Structure 1
Amino acid sequence: MVHALWFSRYICLLCMSYGIMDVCEFFFYGDYERKSYVHDSFKGLYHEDSLNMTMVVALYWEGSNDAVVRSWIGVVIVTTSTVYSMLLYFVLGHKIMKKLKVQSSLSEKTINLQRQLFNALTIQTVIPICVSLMPCLAVWFGPVFLLDFRWVYLSAVIAVSIFPSIDPIALIFFLPALRKRVLITRILVTHVNSHLN
């Protein structure tokens, strides 16, 4: 039974990853029309020839009907899958909170620990929404409204790169056992350093 569960997770992950690759390949593939459309601005920003690069490009207005329709379909598919996964976090979180309120057979300490874990997981959900989802939506829909979000693009790169260090901080901050452990270690290090000096 356990092997079937792991196998089904593997198949699901495989289908999702190939599904995302297929959407990018079919709807956003950088064919000659799209690469030539971004050629001048790409050359000005990056000093590279877009015709020699592999890229995904979405054309919203100025292009052939085929390129525009495929771009819109691809953006809708990618946005729907992203927003669905984020909404699923909140729906499952709401169900968890309802279940925690109903559980009367658990001890107060266990319920308190579960609430602390839920708060940490909530923060660990909000961080990717702010770091990943919002910049992606700005990248996808900014050009639709002719908005220049260059500062979002640049700050999103920094935010995504520091995400692995921010994520554990939420756990340390919201779980008292981890917070005490970090503070005790810090006090001990300070105490040892003061004796050495």
Structure 2
Amino acid sequence: MWIQDIAACVSLVINSFLIFMILTKSPPQLGAYKYLMIYISVFEMFCSILDLIMVPQHFSHGPTFLVIVETKDKLLSPTVLSILNALYWGCFGASMAVFAVHFVYRWLVVSENRLLQTFNGWKICLWFSIPVWYGVTWVCTGYILCGPNENTSRFIKDNIKEVLGLEFNEYTYLGPFLYDKDENGTDVVYVAPFIGLGIISGTICSSIVIVLTFGILCYIRIKNIVVTTVNSLKMRSLQRQLFFALVIQTLVPFLLMHIPVALMFAFVFLDIDLGVYSAIVSMTIAIYPAVDPIPTLVIVENYRKTIIYWICCCKKAAHVPGQTTIEPTRFTTLPPSGLELDLDN
């Protein structure tokens, strides 16, 4: 879909820009947090690249919910596309762990917990490995427990041909087929997909619990920070900015990914056929990495002021033809290596 292609390209551009801002305009107080922010941006760029290569389509039909990838007119073989499809599942799972780690880190910072030292040096790799393990769990669940099989293929091939116009040999898929009826009309439950959904549900619940618990603890701690010096005022201002940016960043995947997918699974359990309307999930998931970096760029003051400064410079240059120098503005007194925090906020 063209929406997925545009969203993926925008994601690559805006996440690259955010990485540049993190590396060049971050305040010194940011510490190891900037590596976590870069980690998230790189992860979202990887998701966008997968979207560009695969152009996955989400499809719901009765008690099954599939992620379909067309194989015709693709340079990669169906086997490789199936593996990439599993990685696509893994990205979804890893995204939840990324924000869980994010909230834990924010709480460690504001509470000055000694475990914060584990984010320095090689130990930070242990934290970065948590989303990887979540992702591996989803990859195995999708590829092994929800992979293509005779029962699922028989059940969906006619409907996919009717709705999407694809012959059975023109696509590959991953997804759970929960139950069916045999020749006597008796319900037949498929155990493997149910186990897969149980594993997926467990990872989702663990992520939600961690985010809510440490989010509340973090908010309480930031609210109770006592301002005694200019530095402590700067620190509280920065921590509030980063916390609210993180809250909004977490709402973005929750609204664009988790809720749509949860609704799709609910319809699967209820045996409600959504057909082409399942494509909405494909679009919202593709939009997520393009939208997610925006809160950080807007809320974190150093990045916001830098962007405003550049926009002002461009406007001045556009209104003064032939002039090669830019008139000073109130931003030009700021150091080039990083803008100071606005203590009025």
1:119 to 224, 238, 244: 244
- Note if contact 2:179-2:190 (Cα within 8 Å) is conserved in structure 1: yes
1:144 aligns with 2:269: yes
- C-alpha distance in structure 1 between counterparts of 2:305 and 2:130, whole Å: 39
2:297 pairs with 1:172: yes
CA distance in 2, matches of 1:174, 1:13: 25
Residue 29 of structure 1 corresponds to 147
* 1:177-196 to 2 correspondences below 5 Å: 177-196=302-321
The correspondence of residues 6-155 of structure 1 with structure 2, limited to 5 A, is 6=125, 8=126, 12=130, 15-50=133-168, 53-63=171-181, 68-104=190-226, 107-149=232-274, 153-155=278-280
Once residues 31 and 90 of structure 1 are traced to their aligned partners in structure 2, the CA distance between those partners, rounded to angstroms, is 38
Percent identity reads 17
Distance change in 2, residues 1:151/1:125 (3 Å): farther
Q: TM-score, normalised by structure 1?
A: 0.81
Residue 31 (structure 2) aligns with: none
User: RMSD value over aligned CA atoms?
Assistant: 2.9
Structure number with the higher helix fraction is 1
* Alignment check: 8 A CA contact 1:138 1:149 kept: no
Deviation at 1:117, TM superposition (A): 0.8
3-state SS in 2 of match to 1:29 = coil
- Structure 1's unaligned 5+ residue stretches are none
Indicate how the Cα distance of structure 1 residues 109 and 14 shifts in structure 2: closer, same or farther if over 3 A, else same.
closer
One-letter amino acid of the structure 2 residue matched with residue 35 of structure 1: S
Count of aligned pairs? 196
Unaligned runs of 5+ in 2: 1-117, 323-345
Any idea what the Cα deviations from partners look like across 1:54-96, whole Å, max 9, x if unmatched?
A: 3223223325677533322222221221232133222221122
Any idea what SS the aligned residue of 1:54 has?
strand
Q: Residues 46 and 90 (structure 1 numbering): CA distance in 2 closer, same or farther, change over 3 Å?
A: same
User: SS of the residue aligned with 2:180?
Assistant: coil
Q: 1:87 to 1:148 in 2, by over 3 A?
A: farther
Q: Take 1:151 and 1:181, find their aligned partners in 2: how far apart are those partners?
A: 43
User: In the alignment, which of 148, 156, 164 is matched to residue 281 of structure 2?
Assistant: 156
Distance in 1, matches of 2:172 and 2:210, equals: 33
Q: Would the aligned equivalents of 1:36 and 1:51 in 2 still touch at CA under 8 Å?
A: no
Q: Quote the Cα distance in structure 1 between the aligned partners of 2:198 and 2:262.
A: 11
Q: TM-score, normalised by structure 2?
A: 0.49
Say which SS state the counterpart of residue 55 (structure 1) adopts. Answer: strand
Q: CA deviation at 1:34?
A: 1.0
Deviation at 1:118, TM superposition (A): 0.2
Q: Larger deviation: 94-103 or 178-187?
A: 94-103
Pair 1:87–1:103, CA change in 2 (3 A): same
Structure 1, residues 144-178: CA drift from partner, whole Å, max 9, x if none? 22444457632332333333331221112212332
| Whole-Å separation in 2 of the counterparts to 1:12 and 1:174 | 27
Farther-moved stretch of structure 1 (144-153 vs 115-124): 144-153
Q: 1:13-58: CA deviations, max 9, x gaps?
A: 5544433232223421221011101111111123223367432232
